[in-house]
Each structure stands twice: as C-alpha cells, then as structure tokens.
Structure 1
Amino acid sequence: MNKKTNTGILYVVATPIGNIQDITYRAVNILQKVQLIAAEDTRHTKYILETFQITTKMTSLHQYNESYKTNKIIFLLKTMNIALVSNAGTPTIHDPGYILVQSCHKNNIQVVPIPGPCALIAALSASGLPSNNFYYKGFLPRKTLLRKKILLKTKNIQQTIVFYESCHRILHSMKDIVNYLGRNRIIVLVKEITKKWETIKYGPASDILLWLQQDHTRKKGEMVIVISGIKLHKKTIPLNVHNTLSVLIKQLTLKQAIQLTSLIHKTNKNQIYTYAIQNFIHDKK
C-alpha cells in the first residue's frame, strides 16, 4: 500500500516479447504479491503466470474496454495493489493502459514502473543507428494513401525513424519506403525479437526489399523497421564571414547577427541564416 495516500499502487509491469526468460525477478515478485492483475488478454498472460506458478487473479483491460473499466480499477486501487500488463513488452507503448495510468495520477494513486522488454528499444539498441534522438510512430497505416502521407512527412526528419509493421503489409510498406524515402536510405529490419527466428537485416532499402522478396518465409513474424534519418550537408561560407558572424552572434540576437553580417560583407542573408542554424543555433538556446 502507498503509505502517503493510503491507497494501493498501480505497477506497470513489462513482460517478455518472445523469450519467456526475459522476465525480470522483480516482475515475477510483483505479479505474485499484488492482489489483481489487469491484463490485455488474460489467456495470454495465463501462460506467464502458470510458467512461474503465480496464482494472482486477473481481470481484462484492453483497447475496447479500457475507458469504462478504468473507473472500476481506480475504485479497487483504493484498497489493493494492482499490476498492469500487456500481451508482450511494456504496457502503454502502443498497447492499452495509458488511460488507466493517467487516471491514477489524477486520483493521486501512485504509479510504479517495473521496466523490462520493449520491442521498440530492443530494435533500436541493435540497429547500429543513432538512438539518442528518434522518431517513433507506431504501426504504419494499413491504407496506401495514408502510409504514403506518413512516409512523406518523415522524409526530411534527421532523427532515426521507427515503425512497427505486420507480416501482412511488410512488402507493401518496404516498396513505399523505397519509393518515397529513397532506395539508398539505410534500413534495419528487426523481426521476431528474442524468438527462435530472430533476424536483424541491415542495408539500403532496395536491398532489404529484395531480400524479403527472395524468400516468402522472410515476411513472417512481428517486425520493427528502423530507418536512418536524412543527413543534411552543411553549408559553408567564407572564413571572414564566419569570423564576423561568430563574434556578433554572441552579442546580438540571431536575426540581428545575420542582418549585420550580411550588410558588412554584402552576402546573401539566407545563406548566412542556413549556416548559422547548422553551426551556431545551439549557442543561442
């Protein structure tokens, strides 16, 4: 029980995304000790509980009942501790649960994360692409036009981009990635993470598409598509212009420094602006 508010605690418990051995000791301990488990699919969670001889009672909490089930669970949390689990991975990360968690905060009920497996983070960690700043959009849309719209929106993003995708649409999505992001865009296709047929395929988008087309079994499984961000080529300006800008930008606003540098050297303001954004903008934050 949460001694500060005299209510129960909601534990957000990550569960394996494939290999059952990835569950943490702490997760098992929490699932054994709570009075109730709110599971996305009780049939799926039952396998985990039976594996570790956990007898805690369960109730369902999925995308179709979360809105009305949340109030019931909030009421129960006033007198007991409850664990929230999804079918696999970390709850609320493209899985149900955020409505319940949000409601806990609004009702001053303590929320405690029990970290563990997450397909998104696992794929990023093994991708070899920058992961300190990334763009995540969940599953790509089923419909072609919507998928095209999303891909075109991400075309000029500099961060690493991550999508989930199903085996049924992976070929269509890879063809669209080649068409709208470019055949040479680096892709890391991570499929069946932690499972027997786990595969990590790195290369240009066109090569990944060809690899998928060569063997129908390669299209099977749950997939994460990690895409390299676009690389911008830095603009250059003459050394004397750079020196003037570097002095003025420390004393003036960005706009004033650019205008004055342009006047002094009779140089195009747009060119100086682009250079300043790429080389000095961090100094003005």
Structure 2
Amino acid sequence: MIVQGNDAPGLAPGLYIVAGPIGNLGDLSPRAARILREADVIACEDTRVTAKLLRAAGSDRPMLAYHEHSRAEVGEGLLERMASRSVALVSDAGTPLVSDPGHELVRAARQRGIPVTTAPGPCAAIAALSISGLPSDRFLFAGFLPARAVARDKAIAALAALPFTLIFYESGPRLGATLAALATALGPREAAVARELTKLHEELVTGTLTDLASRYGSSPPRGEIVLLVGPPEAEVATADALDQALEAALRTMAPGKAAASVAAALGLPRGEVYARALDLKNTNPESGDPR
C-alpha cells in the first residue's frame, strides 16, 4: 500500500493531476498554477488549448500531447519520466479523467510505486449540478451516451430505474435527439441543460424532458453542454431499483449484509429490504452462498 500526502515545496518526482478552469481562467487555483510552472513536463490533450492555460499560469514548461490516440505510444515514456521527474496531467477543461483519458496512466503509476497527487478544482458536471436545483444528495455521472441510437437507448434503459439525478455530457448537434430519446424512455422528468458554464454566455434552462426536447429539437445550442435528469418518482423507482441492487449485492454478500447495504443506499426500511432479499435468494438459489 502506498501512502502519500500533498506535494511539499518544490515538486517531487511523480504524477500530478491538475484541474484547470472549465471556461473562466480566474478559476485556476494558485496551487494548480504553481504546479504548472514547476512541473518538468505538461501532458495534455491539445497543446494549443493548454498553451493558453500555461500563459495564464505564467508557465513556460514543455508540453506533450497525451490523448486517446497517443496514450499507448506516449504513456510508457511518461511513466519513465515520473521515476525521476514531475509530470503534470491536464485536460482541455476542468478535471482530468472525467470523460477524458488518463486512468490507465494513473493506475500504471500507482502500480509502479510512483506518487500520484491531485490538485483539485473545477468540474463541469459538479458545477452544473450545484446550480440546477435537482436533487444532489445522490447522483450518477454517466459521461456521453453512445452515438448510435440502439446503443444509446439500451444505455438509457439501464439507467431508468436508478433513484439518482443523472448527469451527462453532450454536444450541441446531438442534444435534441438525446433529449427526445430520454423523454421517450423516462417520461416527463425534471431536467436541466447547462451550457458555457463560467463563461460570459453561461446559461441554465430547466423544464421537463419533453419541454426541453421540444425547445432544442430544431435549434441546437452552441458550446459545451451538461445535461441533468432528475430521479424518477420514489414509488416508480423502488421496485426495479431495489431488485437490481439486491441481485448485485447477493452475488457477494449474505442476505442480511446485502439488505443492510442496499437499504442504506436507497433509503428504504431495512426489514422490507431483507424480506425482499430472502425472496430473491429463494427464487434464485444459484446466486451464490457468500460466507
């Protein structure tokens, strides 16, 4: 097990995950700016975009493109650098690894005993949730839905019964079709479309999925978009979500422990959940016998 703390004065060798602004350069933290000035190399998605960030941070450090198409080629070289030098990883906007490549690099670094440090900061998904007015005690970030209609509809169906606010990233040209698919599958749930967060033309539009699908169906917006969908009504969510959660928990837990875990997660009475767990266990005795 590797135990580590925050970076001390002067950057030690390792990997630094640095969150940048999602639009407003004023949101770059002093600590993030310092890391960008002191790191030996900056790994980034697009060097043209990151060049603007480095200018704002007062940094002249060299950049290396690390993205979906180069990670296999570049990753090993970055890992070798981290053994004796500091590498900062940034994304085009916000917190790296959130719908961006990078988790393989973090995993490999930790497996090699290389310290991984976070300089946290803005994230579009959390920023949108904080101003949406939708329930924020439990939420699920689902990234981008699949582009193909069949795969997209399957992904929506898998999320339909979950009693959480759902958060997606989406592009302007695809927004209308995505909202229409969500409205068809989920009905008139509360939803919000957030665009251009922290920028001059920041906008948040709320309404039902049906209303928003109609609004954006023929007039796709510009800019970076976060789409939020409120949870289903409690009585609709309970039965399906409970069974799904219990079936998953029963694969690795005894009924009592499974019931306790699921009851806490879904906010349901433990006795009722335990009774349902026993029903499912008796119906499907092959689900395992965890000790």
1:205 is matched with 209
1:133 is matched with 138
The answer as to whether partners of 1:2 and 1:8 remain within 8 angstroms in 2 is no
State the distance in 2 between where 1:97 and 1:140 align: 19
2:20 is matched with 15
1:75 to 76, 80, 95: 80
State the distance in 2 between where 1:163 and 1:278 align: 27
Give the deviation of 1:220 after TM superposition.
1.6
State the distance in 1 between where 2:162 and 2:7 align: 43
2:173 match: secondary structure? coil
1:194 is matched with 198
The answer as to whether partners of 2:14 and 2:84 remain within 8 angstroms in 1 is no
Q: For structure 2, list consecutive stretches of 5 or more residues without a partner in the other structure.
A: 1-5, 237-254, 257-266, 278-291
Q: Percent identity?
A: 33
CA RMSD of aligned residues (A): 2.4
State the distance in 1 between where 2:233 and 2:207 align: 16
1:262 is matched with none
Structure 1 residues 76 and 152: alpha-carbon distance in aligned structure 2, compared to 1, 3 A threshold: same
State the distance in 1 between where 2:107 and 2:136 align: 27
TM-score, normalised via structure 1 length: 0.78
1:169 match: secondary structure? helix
1:31 matched to 2:36:
yes
The answer as to whether partners of 1:2 and 1:110 remain within 8 angstroms in 2 is no
Deviations 1:121-172 (A, max 9, x none): 1111112122222122110111111111111221111111111111110010
1:258 is matched with none
State the distance in 1 between where 2:46 and 2:175 align: 25
Amino acid across the alignment from 2:234: L
Deviations 1:193-222 (A, max 9, x none): 1112211111111222233247x3x62221
Q: For structure 1, list consecutive stretches of 5 or more residues without a partner in the other structure.
A: 235-252, 255-276
Amino acid across the alignment from 1:278: L
2:232 to 227, 230, 233: 230
1:246 is matched with none
Give the deviation of 1:282 after TM superposition.
9.1
State the distance in 1 between where 2:155 and 2:116 align: 33
The answer as to whether partners of 2:22 and 2:124 remain within 8 angstroms in 1 is yes
TM-score, normalised via structure 2 length: 0.76
State the distance in 2 between where 1:174 and 1:36 align: 41
- Structure 1 residues 1-285: aligned runs within 5 Å: 8-182=13-187, 184-213=188-217, 216=219, 219-233=221-235, 278-281=268-271
Structure 1 residues 121 and 104: alpha-carbon distance in aligned structure 2, compared to 1, 3 A threshold: same
Give the deviation of 1:97 after TM superposition.
1.2
The answer as to whether partners of 1:157 and 1:229 remain within 8 angstroms in 2 is yes
State the distance in 1 between where 2:25 and 2:272 align: 45
The answer as to whether partners of 1:23 and 1:116 remain within 8 angstroms in 2 is yes
1:92 match: secondary structure? coil
The answer as to whether partners of 2:37 and 2:57 remain within 8 angstroms in 1 is no
State the distance in 2 between where 1:223 and 1:60 align: 24
Deviations 1:56-100 (A, max 9, x none): 111111111112311111111111111111111111111111111
Deviations 1:219-242 (A, max 9, x none): 2221111111112229xxxxxxxx
Give the total of aligned pairs: 239
The answer as to whether partners of 1:16 and 1:117 remain within 8 angstroms in 2 is yes
State the distance in 1 between where 2:34 and 2:157 align: 46
State the distance in 1 between where 2:217 and 2:177 align: 11
State the distance in 2 between where 1:23 and 1:150 align: 34
Asked which structure has the greater CA Rg, the reply is 1
